[in-house]
Amino acid sequence: METGKILIVDDDQNICELLRLYAEKEGYTVTIANDGRKAVECFDQENPDIILLDIMLPEQDGFQVCREIRKKSQCPIIMLTAKGETFDKVLGLDLGADDYVVKPFETKEVIARIKAVLRRSGKQDPNEKRVVTFDKLSINLNNYELKVNGVQVDTPPKEMELIYHLASNPNRVFSRDQLLDEVWGFNYYGDSRTVDVHVKRLREKLEGVSDQWSLKTVWGVGYKFEVK
């Protein structure tokens, strides 16, 4: 069970309540603000561990709120917005946002993003188990240890994070851009071929280990960790 305080800032009550429901189910404490001014007040009062911040807000927009909070805190911020234009995304990141989710979104994905950003910021629950196991394979992100047939295989950190991310979402297809965003982070502006190189190296370590799972290329889309 996760622990931590989340400040949700959105003028859409339905979105707020849906996010609250999922976040509280995961064990987070939730505070909600429906406009920009209230968001800054709640931040000062509650000292949250992370903020979900909509851009289109009454009183002050999300960019202004982000600016004000960044003057006094490095609290992780995930932008929530219906705007998907590159300009808005880049502006949000330039102002100090840690991640960016475009509406409409899957609530489970937002929760996964919260956990990822908190991990990157060093605020994850120390009791959180980050171990995934399959036939003849163990991926332990707590100590960055990959074991094949019980034998530890030397694996660089980013390869570990990539295989853990794929294996934690079995049979889900990820595009290269999604993997860059979710594994490398939005502050990474490298080429999508980076993903291909890391997958190739992982394949060299994992190819033929088991007939129960495999690292698959989905042509024209990206990659998935396929489980039979």
Instruction: List the CATH number of the domain containing 164.
Output: 1.10.10.10
For residue 188, the model assigns a pLDDT of 55
Average confidence score pLDDT of the chain: 87
Total number of domains constituting the chain: 2
* pLDDT reading at 115 higher than 90: no
Q: Are residues 95 and 137 in the same domain?
A: no
For residue 128, the model assigns a pLDDT of 57
Kindly indicate the confidence band of residue 132, based on its pLDDT and cuts at 50, 70 and 90.
Answer: very high
pLDDT digits (tens, 9 = 90+) for 21-36: 999 988 899 999 999 9
For the chain, the straight-line distance linking the first and the last C-alpha, in angstroms and rounded, comes to 29
Q: How far apart are CA 118 and CA 75, in angstroms?
A: 10
Average pLDDT of the residues in 111-140: 79
For residue 69, the model assigns a pLDDT of 93
Q: Are residues 157 and 112 in the same domain?
A: no
pLDDT digits (tens, 9 = 90+) for 144-201: 899 999 999 988 888 999 999 999 999 999 999 888 878 877 555 566 788 999 999 9
Give the residue numbers spanning the domain of 102. 5-120
114 or 95, which is more confident? 114
CA 187 to chain centre: 13
Q: Are residues 82 and 188 in the same domain?
A: no
Q: Is residue 125 part of a domain?
A: no
For residue 196, the model assigns a pLDDT of 92
pTM: 0.56
Last residue of a domain, one of 120, 152, 173: 120
Q: Are residues 163 and 78 in the same domain?
A: no
Q: Is residue 126 part of a domain?
A: no
For residue 38, the model assigns a pLDDT of 95
Q: Are residues 83 and 108 in the same domain?
A: yes
Q: Are residues 115 and 136 in the same domain?
A: no
Q: Find the CATH number of the domain harbouring 98.
A: 3.40.50.2300
Spell out the residues 6+ positions from residue 119 whose beta carbon is closer than 8 angstroms to its own: none
> Do 139 and 133 touch, CB atoms closer than 8 A?
yes
Q: Are residues 91 and 49 in the same domain?
A: yes
User: CA gyration radius for the chain?
Assistant: 19
